[in-house]
A and B are shown apart, each in its own frame.
Chain A
């Protein structure tokens, strides 16, 4: 027998890309603004049909910005969040292959500077039917490797979206990292192009708008006492 709560909560059938854009549009700051202001986008076969369709559909609820180069679009996103003192951020999406690896330098830039950016890099087919798809890197000894593995050392959170429902955990983890003052940095969601287009019955509750407050951790009492003592004892030489 179903529990009452489950009976009451409905589902909504959306592609994974539609679910991602809808979810991102409802992640808010304490000041009531979208945390992810918009999405810088250059389309290729790895994101045009899935993410491209979803961005068009969501319109001004998550605006799309068309730039000239994936790296420099990400530079704009990085400067935006630095100019906002990390209180808001932007996303950048690319196709698979060169568009994605163009973003790796910018990911490192954000990583070093502790700045939040959401990289949504298209990836090769999860179902491997056209393997190797155009622009696919082939590893002779490891079937799970793609060009997007280049992001791993230069982001604070990496996830590989090979099933639509992975977004249920991946997206909250992405926002957690971007709004955590200590762990703050870039996130890469490596989003397989076929998965972007697959439909799933999403719990409606997933899309309830959520507010992300940036916390202010209090000092430890002993550390505070020790540092106060050091300052009182200090003398210029």
Chain B
């Protein structure tokens, strides 16, 4: 199994990786920075690795006896905090020896493109029996169903349903981009990227990267459509480069999901045995619940700003944004309740977030016991 990291893209090794995976029948799973090196539609792309990983990817990861990291830092989301790869041997192909030697890997220090080409020549006609095409097909079908428009009613859409709407409205020229909150993990799990159609700042996962990042990305790739996902929390942290994009006539489309607070950390807080506190505005020490008008806010800087009435309207607004020479900000109210992978069988993996050792509630005690259980499976040497 190959773990495809950002180094594949920085090396321009996408074609070499594709050829390597096809020729030797070795499945590819993706990190945040490596996602879209292979299009999701490619038969050897098993999707995202680890904490926010696909059922297909995590299944082959658990079975693999050799994991080949290419251009990856092996951060904790990729490795399930060092619990994902079981007893597998690890190979690190990396241009930086610091990364190539991580987690006890057998190092191959080289440019990713050159290394894959030379390795493929050495392997000649060797073909592994590692692929599991049925698991991959089942996973992609489950994602489509999970992200489908809600059947009816006026309930608030989930983040997964928003991703589904944007996906359906996207084209092969679209790039989904984001940095922080719920959406990075949700997009890594659910976004079915075209080749080169994904841009995630998930090394620092810096809230406030999104709007300015969308502008910089559009400058770099003016021929592609930039679809910027940002939550209300991250938008509130930094948004003012919208005005710059307006005055420099740099168009991109912002999908601003408003769940009235920090939905991602709210779920994490409760997953760690804590009480809902200081994340959603409803759980904060405030004298009045805020009613932030994001449409008016973005419009005041000159962006084209609209509120989407629901999932079908969101799809229509994304299409309508094409052809504008200024940013479009589409605001949509969402529910903070379910996680993006909730209800998807075998999606995701444990992530090491420290849980208090002592505390008053039974919920906390259960969370701590569960934490110890998972932590015991961490492979700390290799």
Residues of A participating in the B interface, judged by any CB pair closer than 8 Å: 37, 65-69, 71-73, 75-86, 88, 90, 105-106, 108-109, 112-114, 181-184, 215-220, 223-228, 230-232, 234-237
A112 to B201, CA, bound (A): 10
Contact partner, B216, options A79, A85, A237, Cβ 8 Å: A79
As a 0/1 sequence over residues 84 to 113 of chain B, the CB contacts with chain A under 8 angstroms (1 = contact) are: 000001010101110000000011111101
A-B CB contact pairs (8 Å), 21 listed? A69-B238, A69-B240, A71-B208, A71-B238, A72-B212, A72-B241, A75-B241, A76-B216, A76-B241, A77-B216, A78-B201, A79-B177, A79-B199, A80-B216, A82-B199, A106-B206, A109-B206, A181-B10, A217-B110, A232-B126, A236-B64
Residues of B participating in the A interface, judged by any CB pair closer than 8 Å: 6, 9-12, 24, 26, 33, 60, 63-66, 68, 89, 91, 93, 95-97, 106-111, 113-115, 118-119, 122-123, 126, 128-130, 177, 199, 201, 203-204, 206, 208-209, 211-217, 219-221, 238, 240-241, 243-244, 248
- Nearest to B219 among chain A residues (CB) is A80
A69 to B242, CA, bound (A): 11
Contact (Cβ within 8 A) A68 B241? yes
A230: chain B residues within 8 A (beta carbon): 66, 89, 91, 106
User: How many contacting A-B pairs (Cβ < 8 A)?
Assistant: 188
Contact (Cβ within 8 A) A216 B113? yes
Contact (Cβ within 8 A) B213 A79? yes
B211: chain A residues within 8 A (beta carbon): 72
B209: chain A residues within 8 A (beta carbon): 75, 78-79, 109
A183 to B98, CA, bound (A): 10
A217 to B33, CA, bound (A): 21
A113: chain B residues within 8 A (beta carbon): 6, 33, 201, 203-204
- Nearest to A234 among chain B residues (CB) is B66
- Nearest to A37 among chain B residues (CB) is B219
Contact (Cβ within 8 A) A66 B244? yes
Contact (Cβ within 8 A) B66 A75? no
Query: What does DSSP make chain B's interface, helix, strand, loop or mixed?
Result: mixed
Contact (Cβ within 8 A) A67 B128? no
Contact partner, A72, options B106, B118, B238, B248, Cβ 8 Å: B238
Contact (Cβ within 8 A) A105 B206? yes
Please give the distance in Å from A161's CB to the nearest CB on chain B.
26
A66 to B241, CA, bound (A): 10
Contact partner, B215, options A76, A88, A226, Cβ 8 Å: A76
Contact (Cβ within 8 A) B213 A225? no
Given contacts A84-B220, A230-B91, contact A224 B10 (CB under 8 A): no
